[in-house]
Amino acid sequence: MKHRYIAKRYWKDQKTPMGASDELAKAFEDVINLSLGDPDQTTPESVITAAFEDAKAGHTKYTDFRGDPELRQAIRKMYQEDFTLSFSDEEVMVTASACLGMYLALEAIVDDGDEVIIHEPCFTPYPQQIQLARGIPISLDTYEEDDFEIDPNRLEALITQRTKALVVNTPNNPTGTSFSRKTMEAVAKVAKKHDLIVIADEIYGAYSYQREFIPMVSIPGMKERTITINSFSKDYTMTGWRVGHVIAPDFIIATIQQINENVVFTAPSISQRAALHALEQRKTIQPPMVKEYRERVFYAAKRINGLKNMSVLNPKGTFYLFPNIKDTGLSSKEVSARILQEAHVLTLPGNAFGKCGEGYIRIACTVSVEKLKEAFDRIEKMDLFQ
């Protein structure tokens, strides 16, 4: 909005299809919303109850600046038990969401004009988060024929004297791909060769269906140059609690802490207690959760591949699908609009996730299989897909 009271950098309309989805979801009373990654399930009752009891016991104040000490210890314990990775307490910080963690990490490492490479299609906020930190986002296209994995040669061709970092998101939103070890090692090789920092967005780590999830920091030689961003939102169905964490070399964490003290001070104490209980119960609560979403994405993929003019790769991770709609002859925006108007199903156009997302739509399998069945029963009746 152009107004003398608004900073000029925000005069240009920067609304995205993701941001507009809330209003679009109200377009019809019977809309089935497959747009946002906010699961229909609630946080496990045992986690809610334990957090509530902690609140009554007095956990309602500021925590340590880097987060509840018990939660930091539980995070370290989880990485040791699940991935045989050891971190010092000074390398861990709890943040008020992974989104904030990403911004804090960028603010800590990016100088004005530094370039940060992001592989597209990508999570919508990345480019603006980089710009907020006064950096320059550089797009690295990935393609369906490569399973949307990073091509190290294309990556290296984008590197300049101003390249500071690379954001890696696997399992990936929006494509649902999960990078192979070969890809991870190739990316690590490029990062080490050019002395780059890798910001690893790993918030869907629990949802890797075809291969074991590989943390970037586990690749030899990457610990000293990796900033890991993680969250409790998706792995534990805790989107509204707004709690995540950052793992990085201690000097980066110290800088992030200083910045955070001037932004939100600390993450919510009650949310941190909920996160602690979620971690302690992960072996019980995660398996049925992952099984449910796996069933959903594989069901949706089967239905998609049974339609004319729409196809999708075999699911590899997350609870998103990124169907190819190029055979319709229409743009991503046009297809999403028609699906909403004709089938009352809300999806997101692929170009919301970068230019190379054109020709695709994103479907979030955040409703039950029964609801997904209803959605695809409606879609398959459209002339566009018959």
Nearest CA to 92 out of 261, 272, 247 is that of 247
- For residue 320, what are the β-bridge partners? 364
The domains found in the chain, sorted by start residue, are 8-43+285-385 (3.90.1150.10), 45-283 (3.40.640.10)
Query: Is 21 a residue whose pLDDT tops 60?
Result: no
The encoded tokens of residue 210 equal: 């075809």
Q: DSSP string covering 232-268, please?
A: STTTTT-GGG--EEEE--HHHHHHHHHHHTTTTSS--
Those residues with Cβ within 8 angstroms of residue 371's Cβ, 6 or more apart along the chain or in another chain: 32, 40
Q: What is the pLDDT of residue 26?
A: 62
Percent of the chain with pLDDT over 90: 90
For residue 17, the SS3 value is helix
For residue 361, the SS3 value is strand
Where is pLDDT greater, at 103 or 3? 103
Query: Is 16 a residue whose pLDDT tops 70?
Result: no
Query: Is 156 a residue whose pLDDT tops 60?
Result: yes
Query: Is 36 a residue whose pLDDT tops 90?
Result: no
Q: What is the pLDDT of residue 239?
A: 94
Query: Is 22 a residue whose pLDDT tops 70?
Result: no
Nearest CA to 27 out of 345, 333, 330 is that of 345
For residue 119, the SS3 value is strand
Q: Please tell me whether the overall predicted TM-score, pTM, comes out greater than 0.85 for this model.
A: yes
- Alpha-carbon distance of 204 to 374, in angstroms, equals 26
Q: How far is CA 226 from the centre of its chain?
A: 17
Of the pLDDT bands very low, low, confident and very high (cuts 50, 70, 90), residue 2 is confident
Half-sphere exposure in the Cβ direction for 42 (13 Å, CA) = 5
- Per-residue pLDDT reduced to its tens digit, 247-272: 999 999 999 999 999 999 999 999 99
Buried b or exposed e, range 342-369, using 16+ CB within 10 angstroms: ebbbbbbbbbbbbebbbbbbbbbbbbee
- Per-residue pLDDT reduced to its tens digit, 90-133: 999 999 999 999 999 999 999 999 999 999 999 999 999 999 99
8 Å CB contact between 334 and 361:
no
- Per-residue pLDDT reduced to its tens digit, 279-321: 999 999 999 999 999 999 999 999 999 999 999 999 999 999 9
The per-residue pLDDT of the chain, averaged, comes to 95
- Alpha-carbon distance of 41 to 215, in angstroms, equals 26
Average pLDDT over residues 130-140: 97
Q: Residue 91 — φ and ψ, nearest 5°?
A: -100, 10
Element (H, E) at 136: strand 136-141
Query: Is 143 a residue whose pLDDT tops 80?
Result: yes
- Alpha-carbon distance of 317 to 274, in angstroms, equals 25
Instruction: Give the single-character DSSP code of 341.
Output: I
Of the pLDDT bands very low, low, confident and very high (cuts 50, 70, 90), residue 28 is confident
Where is pLDDT greater, at 229 or 25? 229
- Alpha-carbon distance of 306 to 309, in angstroms, equals 9
Average pLDDT over residues 346-372: 96
CA distances from 140 to 32, 205, 257 (A): 33, 22, 30
Q: What is the pLDDT of residue 20?
A: 59
Q: What is the pLDDT of residue 9?
A: 81
- Alpha-carbon distance of 36 to 365, in angstroms, equals 9
Q: DSSP string covering 177-241, please?
A: ----HHHHHHHHHHHHHTT-EEEEE-TTTT-BSSS----GGGSTT-GGGEEEEEESTTTTT-GGG
The encoded tokens of residue 211 equal: 């291969």
Query: Is 23 a residue whose pLDDT tops 80?
Result: no
